[in-house]
Structure 1
Amino acid sequence: METMKRLYQLDLSGTALKELPSSIGNLIGLKYLKMNNCENLVCLPDSFYKLKSLKRFYLKGCSRLEIFPEIMDTMERLYELDLSGTALKQLPSSIGNLIGLRDLKMNNCENLVCLLDSFYKLKSLERFYLKGCSRLEIFPEIMETMKRLYRLDLSGTALNELPSSIGNLIGLKELNMNNCKNFVCLPDSFCKLKSLKRFYLKGCSRLEIFPEIMETMKRLYQLDLSGTALNELPSSIGNLIGLKELNMNNCKNFVCLPDSFCKLKSLKRFYLKGCSRLEIFSEIMETMKRLYELDLCGTALKELPSSIANLIGLKYLKMNNCESLIGDFPEIMDTMERLYELDLSGTALKELPSSIGNLIGLKDLKMNNCENLVCLPDSFYKLKSLERFYLRGCSRLEIFPEIMETMKRLYQLDLSGTALNELPSSIGNLIGLKELNMNNCKNFVCLPDSFCKLKSLKRFYLKGCSRLEIFPEIMDTMKRLYELDLSGTALKELPSSIGNLIGLKDLKINTVKTFLCGLSNLIVKNLFTAVGGRPVNQKDPHGLSSLKQLDLSESNLENLPSTIKQFQLHEASTKPGTFRCTMTNLFKQALFCHDRPYQSLVLDFSNCFKLGDKGVGNDIDADDNTSLEEVSGIKKVLKQALFCNSLGWLFTNCFLLDQKAASGPETPKLEMPFEHMVTLLKDYHQQKKNIIVTCVPGSEIPEWFDFKSVGSSMNIQLPSEWCSNNSWINFPSFVASAVVSVPDSSYTGGEFDITCECHLKSRNVDNDCFSSSSSFSFGSRLSDHVFLVYDGFKVREIVKSKASNNQLDSSECEVKQCGVHRLFAN
């Protein structure tokens, strides 16, 4: 065999090779050899060491490779060797001949039981990974110093200790021993690791004692002891003079901190979350300037020491779920500028001290689920830096204090689930408030007239305020409020001044049970005609003309007026109410979405049980003069909808409609989502990237479909002239249809997907596939439905000719029939 000087890269990954030839050494120029996932590979040739130019050798996932060959001569250039996932039990004694090796990866070598004593001879080694070597119980003695090894990962191994010679790893910067479940002790020589920066012992659940640190360690800045069995720290912990982060989360046996804790002058973050036996926090005898985050969540602390004030740099103090904390929160005797997050959630506090105002730097105050909290101090308004205040679930809090001065920075206030029955008239002083959440305030009965002074408010949630019967007059315009949720309230009407919410985009009034049929006209007038009593010109919008989404689900409304056409809705949801709408009025304005930021339109009339062929197309509003000719002209309007990327037109569970109503001459409006839509797509599908889905109750594929079949799939032949030079100009697109049945025994309501999958094969048997999926929601009451799915963009991606196999699938549903209608540009 001749030598090959120029071959420098060989990738055999994933092949079925069982071995390499002994002549592999003739590849004298080979630098990269990849054999990842060669699952049949059982051995390597002894001549391997002759690859003198080899730099990287990858054998990851060679799960049958049990023996690595002896290295009979030094290899200077090999600097990366990946043996992860192999079946090796040990490395050869000659491993030290890899004198240039920098990276050695043996992750998840589950058969590896030992490392040879010659390991220390790898003087160039920088990174050694043994993660997941679950049978490795002993780490060898390091007989000589190793200066370059700076990362050692032993996580998930079966080690129960480290050798006393671990101190010879004088260059080690990172030592990872996470989840070493058998690990019980650290050697006293641990403190000799002078270069160590990060030490991870998370999940070492049998480690009960941390050794004395007999010498100072300047560089160790991160120590993770979370989930260990430690019950205390040594008094010499102060010798970790460079420590910045100490994590002891979920140390269930931990009972006390040493007094020397305060000597950790560099400490910034200290986590004790879930130390459920820690009852006493040690006195802080000296000031600690750098500690800015202290997490005591879920501990058994009953109080904080008075010396807590020595944490002069503290920014975050978290004590949520400290269920044993009794008594009052301590008085703040002096101003604290740097504490900006205080989390007291889940504590038993009944009140906050009046001196809370001294926390002049506080930005976040969390008191969620403080079920004993009964009042807030009048000095609350002095927290001038406060940005977020969370009181969710404070179920005994009945009164919110007066805000005596303006608060510019508070922008988020969560009062959901409290016992408040009103807000103070001074609420308008929260001039920076953007979000106010009062969901499920069951006792809340009224809003103050000053509500409209919240000029910055964007989102206001009152969902589930079941005693709120009156919404106040909006005496001034509110430009920024764009989301208002009134669902589940007891409102009977909205004020005529609702039109002053000129920025409103999302209005939810669903599940408002007291909106009775007899009052629906009043509500409609309030919503849609209380903008001056005259039609609104779209070029000069005002009132609620910014409304993008209207949700009237579960209301008892039966009609919408013609004035709905003034709103630029992108989603009109009436499910699952008994809603019968004047669709002409809605579609005249809704389909013009090409100049809107939302490039999709969903018209959802699901579960409109009273919507029938006689109701559709008839004018319900007395002021609506729409003629039948104008209704038929909707076809022209639909052209504008093709500027949308996605159009949904859903009539699921409208049981008074059927497949005949979709094509009957007496109901021209429902022709549109079917035949009119297809006519338009014929002209436009090559230019635009549309996705259109629609459905209606029925059990037959529409008559105008070219191909029909029983079941969920079919094959159709395409003439070859419809695809020339692999161009998509004349290539057909498809509208797919399916009749879907859901057995009553397997469906209890909810959402499911309809997927259309198309396989296109050319003469040379090339095969391409695309799929389009859409989601639909049904109640538990369900009959057969006809679905139409169109995805013009996906078809343009694949331009092959000859034949196509079209298949419709739906999860847990039966596709009884399917059909295909072809669309051609010319």
Structure 2
Amino acid sequence: MDTMEWLYELDLSGTALKELPSSIGNLIGLMRLNMNNCKNLVCLPDSFYKLKSLRRFYLKGCSRLEIFPEILDTMKRLYELDLSGTALKELPSSIGNLIGLVHLSLDDCENLVRLPDSFYKLKSLERFYLKGCLRLEIFPEIMDTMKMLYELDLSGTTLKELPSSIGNLIGLNDLNMNSCKNLVFLPDNFYKLKSLERFYLKGCSRLEIFPEIMDTMKMLYELDLRGTALKELPSSIGNLIGLVHLSLDDCENLVFLPDNFYKLKSLERFYLKGCSRLEIFPESMDTMKMLYELDLRGTALKELPSSIGNLIGLVHLSLDDCENLVRLPDSFYKLKSLERFYFKGCSRLEIFPEILDTMKMLYELDLSGTALKELPSSIGNLIGLKDLNMNNCKNVVFLPDSFYKLKSLRRFYLKGCSRLEIFPEILDTMKRLYELDLSGTALKELPSSIGNLIGLKDLKINTVKTFNLENLPTTIKQFPLHELILRNCKRLKSLPELPPSLECLDAHDCTSLEDVSSIKKFFKQPLFCQDKPYRSLVLNFSNCFKLGEKGVGNDIDAEDSTSLEEVSSIKKVFKRAVFCKSLGWLFTNCFQLDQKAASGPETPKLEMPFEHMVTLLKDYHQAPPESKKRACIITCVPGSEIPEWFDFKSLGSSMNIQLPSEWCSNNSWINFPSFVASAVVSFPDSYTGGEFGITCECHLKSRNRDDRCFSCYSYFSFGSRLSDHVFLVYDGFKVREMVKSKASNNRIYIEATCNLYLEGLDSSQCEVKQCGVHRLFAN
């Protein structure tokens, strides 16, 4: 091969080459040679060193390459060499002739057992990667200073130690030894790495001792010791005067911290999560202005020192799952910068300290799962508090009368406070509280002053079995409520007038509920015609066994309402709402609306909700687009047959339909075909409830044989096993999108293929037994 001066890039990656010819050296102008993933490559020519112009050489993934050739002369220009994933066992001692090498990667060279002693001669080297070299046990001595090397990755190697000459890496910034599971100690002269900024030792599970820092290290700002076997840190840790981030998460052998911890004046983040033997936190003998995050989750601390108040810059403090914690210091209120304070799962904490001065910054306090019996009356000094979580505080028996002073409070969670019987009077308006969860409490009533929560939008009262609530306060109509959850209120008989802003009412298992006539007002006002394109109302009266016709309305989920029979009153409700909103109507396990009733000549009850919906959809389909908003309709009733009046029915989950000439019209929004789809879904005996979706996918063919496709999707979630049910799905929004598109104009569609399929976590247990389609004609 003659010399070739002009070829500067050669890409052979992924080829089946076994070797390169020795004449490769004639490519004297070659600057970039890519042989990545040449999995058959077994050797390189000895003449490789003759490629004097070569700057980048890539051999990543050449998994059969075991030997790298000797470099018989200096190569000044090669600055990047990638040998990661090769089968190399060693590098030649002549590697030092690559005097211009800047980047050397040997990642995942699982057969590599040693590095040459001449490694230190690579004076230009800046980045050296050895991640995942599982057989590399020894790192060579660095016989001379290396100023340029700033990044060294030894993670996942089997190194037991570093050489004492590691201090010669005077320019080293990043040293990664994560998951070096055989590492047992670090050299005493570690502190000589004056340029070191980041040192990672995560998962070095045999490392028990951290060396003394005999001189100050100004540059080291991140030290990761997570998952090591350290029992303590040296007292000289204070010499890390530039340390910003210190992580000791999951150091399960750690038993104490040095007393001079407070000398780490630059420290901002200190993580001790999962240090399950750490019982004492050191006194902070001086102020620490910079520390803003302290994570003590899952430690064995019994208390915090009174000097905790010296952490004057602390913003985030977490003590979640500190199961031995029995008290907090009285000086807690001195943490003036604190914004987030977490105690979730501190199951022995019975007393919360008095807040002796205002705390403006604290906006989130999580006390869930603690043993608190009460909150101090001084809780009102948390004037900036927005979120207060006391879920599952099973010992709490009352709340302080000063609760109403929390003027910034937005969310208050008391779910599972099963001994809380009285909710305090709200003596002044609380404008910002918009979410209140009283689920699982023992409240007997709500105070009439609840109306002072003038910003309340979400109210949950899912109750315990002993709950005695019989009435809701009439002032509830004043709230701008969006969601009202009343599950399991066994003695609740009627609903008062509800606020017009309501979007979701869930009265599941309110077994005494008889009168819900107040919801009729939702359909007597232009509620659904407001300028909110996705406005919806969901009413759930499942397991409300005493609820008859009065309980039927728009968007009703009457799951398990086995006494429900008459549904004819829904017609007017549909007429008011269908042009303006999405509609959901679920009658799961309402067995008196079964198939036998539908086939009877007197009261075809199963047919009724379906027919009313379809009648309204015909009107909806013919209306001009500007007069209607999105209409998304879902319905389900017990049954194992598609209603007889459906135009097309088929076993299984798909069907082909020939479209008649009636589709033709001068109006483009009517010319476009639309369908109501139905499916019979079978649920096996093993089905105990869950989530799934039904998708109806429709492929249309026109006379021009061009295809168009649209689909609609409905989501369902049931909390109990079901018999076979018939589902109806329709999404007018998808239809309208197709109508507006230019592709649908001037098309006459002659054929449609419909497929219905289930998806979701539990859909594998279910089966579409039958499917049906009902066409929406123009006239």
TM superposition score category, shorter chain reference: 0.7 to 0.9
1:343-372 deviation digits (Å, cap 9, x = unpaired) = xxx5122x764x655555554454545555
Alpha carbons of structure 1 residues 485 and 85: separation in structure 2 relative to 1, 3 Å: same
How far is the alpha carbon of 1:492 from its aligned partner? 0.3
Aligned-residue CA RMSD (Å): 4.8
Alpha carbons of structure 1 residues 406 and 153: separation in structure 2 relative to 1, 3 Å: closer
2:483 paired residue number: 506
How do 1:261-340 and structure 2 match up within 5 A?
261-279=261-279, 290-300=290-300
How do 1:625-704 and structure 2 match up within 5 A?
630=572, 634=574, 637-641=577-581, 648-658=584-594, 668-674=608-614, 676-677=616-617, 680=620, 693-703=634-644
Alpha carbons of structure 1 residues 241 and 618: separation in structure 2 relative to 1, 3 Å: closer
> Is the contact made by 2:617 and 2:776 (CA closer than 8 Å) also made in structure 1?
no
2:506 paired residue number: 551
> Is the contact made by 1:159 and 1:180 (CA closer than 8 Å) also made in structure 2?
yes
Alpha carbons of structure 1 residues 388 and 316: separation in structure 2 relative to 1, 3 Å: closer
Which amino acid letter does the alignment assign opposite residue 122 of structure 1? L
2:680 paired residue number: 739
Among 398, 404, 411, the residue aligned to 1:435 = 411
How far is the alpha carbon of 1:464 from its aligned partner? 1.0
> Is the contact made by 2:541 and 2:551 (CA closer than 8 Å) also made in structure 1?
no
CA distance in 2, matches of 1:762, 1:102: 64
Q: Pick which of 169-178 and 257-266 moved more.
A: 257-266
Q: Does 1:347 align with 2:325?
A: yes
CA distance in 1, matches of 2:184, 2:350: 48
How far is the alpha carbon of 1:309 from its aligned partner? 6.6
> Is the contact made by 1:213 and 1:239 (CA closer than 8 Å) also made in structure 2?
yes
1:413 paired residue number: 388
SS of 1:453's equivalent? coil
2:472 paired residue number: 494
How far is the alpha carbon of 1:154 from its aligned partner? 1.1
How far is the alpha carbon of 1:660 from its aligned partner? 8.6
> Is the contact made by 1:347 and 1:370 (CA closer than 8 Å) also made in structure 2?
yes
CA distance in 1, matches of 2:670, 2:7: 46
1:337 paired residue number: none
2:532 paired residue number: none
Q: Does 1:198 align with 2:184?
A: no
CA distance in 2, matches of 1:29, 1:743: 72
CA distance in 1, matches of 2:705, 2:125: 52
> Is the contact made by 2:541 and 2:557 (CA closer than 8 Å) also made in structure 1?
yes
> Is the contact made by 2:694 and 2:756 (CA closer than 8 Å) also made in structure 1?
no
CA distance in 2, matches of 1:430, 1:692: 43
1:711 paired residue number: 652
> Is the contact made by 2:309 and 2:335 (CA closer than 8 Å) also made in structure 1?
no
How far is the alpha carbon of 1:48 from its aligned partner? 6.3
Which amino acid letter does the alignment assign opposite residue 490 of structure 1? N
Which amino acid letter does the alignment assign opposite residue 506 of structure 1? E
Q: Pick which of 477-486 and 807-816 moved more.
A: 807-816
Alpha carbons of structure 1 residues 396 and 90: separation in structure 2 relative to 1, 3 Å: same
CA distance in 2, matches of 1:181, 1:546: 60
1:375-432 deviation digits (Å, cap 9, x = unpaired) = 55665564455433443334351x4443597763233333342534443433322222
CA distance in 1, matches of 2:753, 2:143: 70
Equivalent pairs: percent with the same residue? 57
Alpha carbons of structure 1 residues 777 and 164: separation in structure 2 relative to 1, 3 Å: same
CA distance in 2, matches of 1:76, 1:761: 67
CA distance in 1, matches of 2:673, 2:68: 59
Alpha carbons of structure 1 residues 764 and 180: separation in structure 2 relative to 1, 3 Å: farther
1:609 paired residue number: 562
> Is the contact made by 2:301 and 2:325 (CA closer than 8 Å) also made in structure 1?
no
> Is the contact made by 2:295 and 2:318 (CA closer than 8 Å) also made in structure 1?
yes
How far is the alpha carbon of 1:47 from its aligned partner? 6.9
How far is the alpha carbon of 1:172 from its aligned partner? 0.8
Give the unaligned 5+ runs of structure 2.
Answer: 529-535
1:531 paired residue number: none
Which amino acid letter does the alignment assign opposite residue 471 of structure 2? E
Among 537, 540, 545, the residue aligned to 1:573 = 540
> Is the contact made by 1:753 and 1:775 (CA closer than 8 Å) also made in structure 2?
yes
SS of 1:527's equivalent? coil
> Is the contact made by 1:715 and 1:804 (CA closer than 8 Å) also made in structure 2?
yes
CA distance in 1, matches of 2:700, 2:47: 51
Q: Pick which of 106-115 and 678-687 moved more.
A: 678-687
CA distance in 1, matches of 2:326, 2:652: 63
Q: Does 1:527 align with 2:480?
A: no
CA distance in 2, matches of 1:763, 1:171: 74
Alpha carbons of structure 1 residues 735 and 267: separation in structure 2 relative to 1, 3 Å: same
Alpha carbons of structure 1 residues 6 and 410: separation in structure 2 relative to 1, 3 Å: same
CA distance in 2, matches of 1:450, 1:652: 40
2:232 paired residue number: 232
SS of 1:816's equivalent? strand
CA distance in 2, matches of 1:59, 1:578: 73
Q: Pick which of 450-459 and 202-211 moved more.
A: 450-459
Q: Pick which of 78-87 and 758-767 moved more.
A: 758-767
CA distance in 1, matches of 2:84, 2:575: 64
How far is the alpha carbon of 1:27 from its aligned partner? 7.7
SS of 1:811's equivalent? helix
> Is the contact made by 1:403 and 1:427 (CA closer than 8 Å) also made in structure 2?
no
Q: Pick which of 704-713 and 171-180 moved more.
A: 704-713
CA distance in 2, matches of 1:386, 1:288: 19
How far is the alpha carbon of 1:174 from its aligned partner? 0.7
Which amino acid letter does the alignment assign opposite residue 171 of structure 2? G
How far is the alpha carbon of 1:187 from its aligned partner? 1.8
Q: Does 1:564 align with 2:522?
A: yes
- Number of corresponding residues: 739
Q: Pick which of 377-386 and 444-453 moved more.
A: 377-386
1:460 paired residue number: 436
Give the unaligned 5+ runs of structure 1.
Answer: 324-345, 529-543, 588-601, 620-627
SS of 1:450's equivalent? coil
SS of 2:448's equivalent? coil
Q: Does 1:392 align with 2:363?
A: no
Which amino acid letter does the alignment assign opposite residue 504 of structure 1? L
How far is the alpha carbon of 1:683 from its aligned partner? 7.4
SS of 2:610's equivalent? helix
How far is the alpha carbon of 1:173 from its aligned partner? 0.3
Q: Pick which of 557-566 and 280-289 moved more.
A: 280-289
> Is the contact made by 2:312 and 2:336 (CA closer than 8 Å) also made in structure 1?
no
SS of 2:497's equivalent? helix
2:185 paired residue number: 185
Which amino acid letter does the alignment assign opposite residue 449 of structure 1? E
Which amino acid letter does the alignment assign opposite residue 221 of structure 1? Y
SS of 1:572's equivalent? strand
Alpha carbons of structure 1 residues 363 and 781: separation in structure 2 relative to 1, 3 Å: closer
SS of 2:226's equivalent? coil
How far is the alpha carbon of 1:149 from its aligned partner? 1.8
CA distance in 1, matches of 2:383, 2:702: 67
1:249-285 deviation digits (Å, cap 9, x = unpaired) = 3333334444554544434444444444445555666
How far is the alpha carbon of 1:183 from its aligned partner? 0.5
CA distance in 2, matches of 1:464, 1:132: 52
Alpha carbons of structure 1 residues 163 and 781: separation in structure 2 relative to 1, 3 Å: closer
| TM-score of the two chains, using structure 2 as the length reference | 0.79
How far is the alpha carbon of 1:224 from its aligned partner? 2.0
1:736-768 deviation digits (Å, cap 9, x = unpaired) = 543221221x32222234355678999999999
How far is the alpha carbon of 1:671 from its aligned partner? 1.4
Which amino acid letter does the alignment assign opposite residue 433 of structure 1? L
> Is the contact made by 1:156 and 1:177 (CA closer than 8 Å) also made in structure 2?
yes
